[in-house]
Amino acid sequence: MSDDLKKGLTKEFIDFLQKFGVIGLAIAFVIGQASSKLVTAIVTDLVTPFIGLAMPETGDLKAMSFTIGKSTFLYGDLIANVIDFIIIAFIVFLLYKQLSRFKLIEDKTK
């Protein structure tokens, strides 16, 4: 590969990263993963035990299940994951609203 071709590809790659905000996307992904772990811990350690208090038979939301034949369906775990998703989605929504309020991003909901 010639030096001119290498320089051209390098410049094109850098332009691609800048144009599509790949670096910002990567940073957002890492922060999102970290916050997801935090929210999952909150749901697992705080929210589901309180919900489990209302269920006298198991006392544990994630342990809620039913069996058909030899298959066990853990619907309590699904409920915990839905709660987890709703909290994360709400946090992302609040972050979006704050960023649009400060004009850091364009609010496309209006």
Report how far residue 93's alpha carbon sits from residue 84's, in angstroms, rounded to the nearest whole number: 14
Give residue 8's pLDDT. 74
Q: pLDDT above 70 covers what percent of the chain?
A: 82
Mean model confidence pLDDT for the chain: 77
Band of pLDDT at residue 56, cut at 50, 70 and 90: low
- Structural domains of the chain ordered from first start: 3-101 (1.10.1200.120)
Which residues does residue 68 pair with via DSSP β-bridges, in sequence order? 71
Higher-pLDDT residue of 108 and 47 is: 47
DSSP class of 103: T
Whole-prediction pTM: 0.55
Q: Which residue has the higher pLDDT, 78 or 107?
A: 78
Nearest alpha carbon to residue 91 among 51, 26, 42, 49:
42
